[in-house]
Structure 1
Amino acid sequence: MEDIDFSDPHWLLNYFHFIGLVSFILNSIGIYFLMFMSNQLGKFKYYLLLFQLSCVLTDIDFTILVQPIPLFPLFAGHIYGVVFTWFGLPANTGAVTIAFVAAIQIESLLVCFMEKHQGIAILLNTHKVPKFILNFLYSMCFILPIVMCVWVNSLSLSREEALVYIKEVYPKGYLQFSKLPNFVVYVKSPYTTLLISALFIAGSLGFACLSLFIYDVVRMMAHLKLRISKLTYEMHNEALRSVIIQFITAVLCLLGPRLLLLVLVFEIPYMNLISELLFAWFASHSSVNMISLFIFFPPYPKIIAKGLKKTKVNITLPISSMGH
């Protein structure tokens, strides 16, 4: 077994602080834009707002409240966030909350696609999903994160059980583990493998569903363009572009956790360093998402350009007055 690095990864902790602050600022701007400057999106902006708030929740939990540090190749880790330093909560609680908010974030993006798809489907009177199926899917959005968290929690060992387990499988690290004030260990068992497999399959199915929604919505938009006014079409098109941008950034950034699952299963060399890099990758999701929207989502660059122009005018006027 590869030796575990028990030294504090200061670069990762500093990155958590940095990216957490940057993401909070960018998400706050995004929330302000959605609430007060995106009326052209209609009621759909509230679904985008739901996703934006889920991003904020994930960022706060991952980069501030928990700050997870892996202790691989054991399926273990410890935390540095305020849930431990201020409240003394166990590391397993941090792992469970991360699983919960990550699931909520993915589900909120799925809801955005579903609502946009059904909004267009109703206008075209085609591909409408029966209401009982929608209600079932939305109920699953509440049930599945809870089931996953209960499952994750059931696989963790108590501190006493973890130390006994470590003494058996990694005796040279027993002293270092015993000195850690807060850590969690999960036993690699068929149940753990089943959970990892379930998460991997669920992620793949979610990606497939979102891809199908995108394809179908884009196809329906071509028909919708011929039936509605140009202004209404632009409203739907901009909303669709927003969720597609966020889908692309989600796929890129959530690829990190999927790779982490593979790292855990196959125990590749330098897996602790690789997992730290993947943690940093995942923590960057909201910032990458917002920067992409500021660049590629037409309403946001217009809002920013208008604000900069207004600021330039306000600065120029006092200077001109001083000249007179």
Structure 2
Amino acid sequence: MEDIDFSDPRWLLNYFHLIGLVSFILNSIGIYFLIFNTNRLGNFKYYLLLFQLSCVLTDIDLTILVQPIPLFPLFAGHVYGVLFTWFNMQANTSAVTVAFVAVIQLESLIVCFVKKHQGVAILLNKHILSKCVINALYVLCLIFPFFVCAGANSISLSREDALIYIKKVYPKGYLQFSNLPNFVVYMKSQNTIIFLVTLFFAASFGFLCLCFTIYDIIRMMADLKLRISKVAYEKHSEALRSVIIQFITAVLCMAGPMIQVLILVFEIPQMNFISELIFAWFATHSSINMVSLFIFFPPYRKIIAKGLKKTKVNINLPISSMGL
């Protein structure tokens, strides 16, 4: 087993502070745009707003409230965030909150796709899901976060049991662990492997379902283009582009946690440093999402272009008034 680095990764903690602030600013701008400048999207903007708020919640929890630090190759870690320093919340509970809000964020994106898919399906009167299927999906979205949290909590060890386990499998790190005020250890047992593999395949299945949904929406949009006005089609097209952009950025960033599962299962070299990079990668997802929307989502791009043009005019006015 590799030696565990118990030194504070200052670069990661500083990055959490920086990216948390950047993401909060970018998401605040995005929320403002959604509320006041996207009336063309109709009621669908409120579903996008739900996803945007879930992004904010995930960012705050990960980069401010928890700030997780891995202690691999043991399946362990500790936290530096506000939940511990101000409220003395245990590391396991803090980690569970990150899992909870991350799952809610992904489910919010799924709800956006289902809403857009059914909106187009109703207009074309095909591929309409029954109310039972829709309600079952919503119930699953309510249950699954609690399932993930319950599973994560069930494989964690109490502090006393964790120290006994560490003394057995990593005796040279016993003193360092005993001096940590707050840490969590997950024993690498059969139940742990089953839980991680289940999460991996659940995420993979959800990804495939979303890909199929996108494919079906695109096919229906081609048919819809021939049946509705250009203005109405552009409204649906813009909404679809928004969720596709957010889906792509979510997949790119959620690839990190899935890679993390593989790292834990197969114990690759330098796994602690790689895990720190993955934590930083995941913390960046919200900022990447917003920058992508500012660049590729037409309503946002037009708002920014209009604002830049107005700023340029205001700058040129004083120069013109001086006769230059």
What range describes the TM-score normalised by the shorter chain of this pair? over 0.9
Distance in 2 of aligned mates of 1:144 and 1:253: 20
- Residue identity matched to 1:63: T
Q: In the alignment, is residue 17 of structure 1 matched against residue 29 of structure 2?
A: no
Counterpart of 2:172 in structure 1 is 172
Counterpart of 1:202 in structure 2 is 202
Counterpart of 1:140 in structure 2 is 140
1:1-324 map, 5 Å? 1-323=1-323
What whole-Å deviation, never above 9, does each CA across 1:160-204 have from its counterpart, x for those lacking one?
111111001100000000110100001111111111011101100
What whole-Å deviation, never above 9, does each CA across 1:76-134 have from its counterpart, x for those lacking one?
00000000111110000111001100100110000000000000000000000001110
Q: Bigger CA drift: 116-125 or 314-323?
A: 314-323
Distance in 2 of aligned mates of 1:320 and 1:142: 60
**Runs of at least 5 residues in structure 1 that lack an aligned partner in the other structure:** none
Distance in 1 of aligned mates of 2:198 and 2:56: 26
Normalised by the size of structure 2, how large is the TM-score? Answer: 0.98
Distance in 2 of aligned mates of 1:190 and 1:163: 20
Distance in 2 of aligned mates of 1:184 and 1:14: 22
Q: Classify the secondary structure of the residue corresponding to 2:181.
A: coil
Q: Classify the secondary structure of the residue corresponding to 1:227.
A: coil
- CA drift at 1:322: 4.7
- Residue identity matched to 1:49: L
Distance in 2 of aligned mates of 1:321 and 1:273: 58
Q: Bigger CA drift: 149-158 or 128-137?
A: 149-158
What whole-Å deviation, never above 9, does each CA across 1:233-275 have from its counterpart, x for those lacking one?
0000000001111111111111000000000000000000010
**Runs of at least 5 residues in structure 2 that lack an aligned partner in the other structure:** none
- CA drift at 1:316: 2.9
What whole-Å deviation, never above 9, does each CA across 1:33-84 have from its counterpart, x for those lacking one?
1010111111111111111111100000001100000000111000000001
Normalised by the size of structure 1, how large is the TM-score? Answer: 0.98
Q: Classify the secondary structure of the residue corresponding to 2:126.
A: coil
Distance in 2 of aligned mates of 1:137 and 1:234: 28
- Residue identity matched to 2:159: R
Q: Classify the secondary structure of the residue corresponding to 2:32.
A: helix
- Residue identity matched to 2:8: D
- Residue identity matched to 2:71: L
Q: Classify the secondary structure of the residue corresponding to 1:4.
A: coil
- Residue identity matched to 1:50: L
- Residue identity matched to 2:249: T
What whole-Å deviation, never above 9, does each CA across 1:180-230 have from its counterpart, x for those lacking one?
010000111111111101110110011001100100000000000011000
Q: Classify the secondary structure of the residue corresponding to 2:135.
A: helix
Distance in 1 of aligned mates of 2:314 and 2:43: 33
Q: Classify the secondary structure of the residue corresponding to 2:129.
A: coil
Q: Classify the secondary structure of the residue corresponding to 1:184.
A: strand
- CA drift at 1:314: 2.6
Q: Bigger CA drift: 289-298 or 309-318?
A: 309-318
Distance in 2 of aligned mates of 1:57 and 1:282: 14
